[in-house]
Amino acid sequence: MKPVLIIRTGRAPDVISERHGDFPRWFQLGLRLRDANVRVIDVENGDALPNPDACAGAVLTGSASMVTERLPWSERTAGWIRDAMDVDLPMMGVCYGHQLMSHALGGRVDYLEGGREMGTIPLSRTTHAADDLLARHLPPQFHAHATHEQSVLELPRGARSLATSARDPHHLVRYGQHAFSTQFHPEFSAEVMRAYIRRKHDTLQKEGRAPDQLLASVVPTPEATSLLRGFLREHVGAKQEVSAA
């Protein structure tokens, strides 16, 4: 059985990973995949990516890096994304992975106007979501966890935005039959979101934001999390799934 790749583009801060684990584990838990069905590729650390035909699907994680830095490992991964699209590989990008997919396919990424978007935020489906394989299952309004400074400012040609926030019109994007990405973090638990806010407490205050209010507004985000299982079910295939305990 071909594995699902977790393409690691970064790592959680030590203060968070020591208590809550790190990106690959969060995604594996959200996807509910067995260890044997997952292969982690640490591209930030120089791991080589396999041929797209050698895997059942791929998830690209978040990162503290910026897509606009055009780091060599990031640009190599962008080339791999284009190759994966050519063979219609099921693919999901999250945060940095979301931005990198858009960049790789011709979109424009840069800093979000007004600065950082952080916390549990309300999202709204767009009209394009009604006939989308995944987004049609989302309610008209739902919540998701987010923490980002850069965003997709212009979509690649042919891409569609499926969900928006008050500040970012491209929170959920469809690129092709089996490829989509989210600016928000479906893999975050409420506890992880709170940990990120606490870590940025002083920075948020300096930016004129209200970290205590952000903390109080954190709630579970089951609709956002459901996209991980939906990715497996609708795109990778039921054989890669593990039945819920």
* Residue 2 DSSP class: P
Q: Which two tokens stand for residue 136?
A: 């049609």
Element holding 150 (H helix, E strand)? strand 150-154
- Which is catalytic among the residues 145, 170, 171, 185? 185
**H-state helical runs in the chain:** 14-20, 23-31, 72-86, 96-104, 190-199, 201-206, 211-216, 222-230
Cα–Cα distance for residue pair 147/170, rounded to 1 Å: 14
- Which is catalytic among the residues 55, 171, 187, 235? 187
- Which is catalytic among the residues 95, 117, 170, 171? 95
Q: Is 187 a catalytic residue?
A: yes
Q: Is 145 a catalytic residue?
A: no
How far are the Cα atoms of 56, 109, 128, 155 from residue 26, in angstroms, in the given order? Answer: 19, 25, 29, 27
Report phi then psi at 85, rounded to 5: -65, -35
Other beta carbons within 10 angstroms of residue 239's beta carbon come to 10
Q: Is 95 a catalytic residue?
A: yes
Nearest to 9 by CA among 82, 84, 79, 59: 59
**Residue numbers annotated as active site:** 95, 185, 187
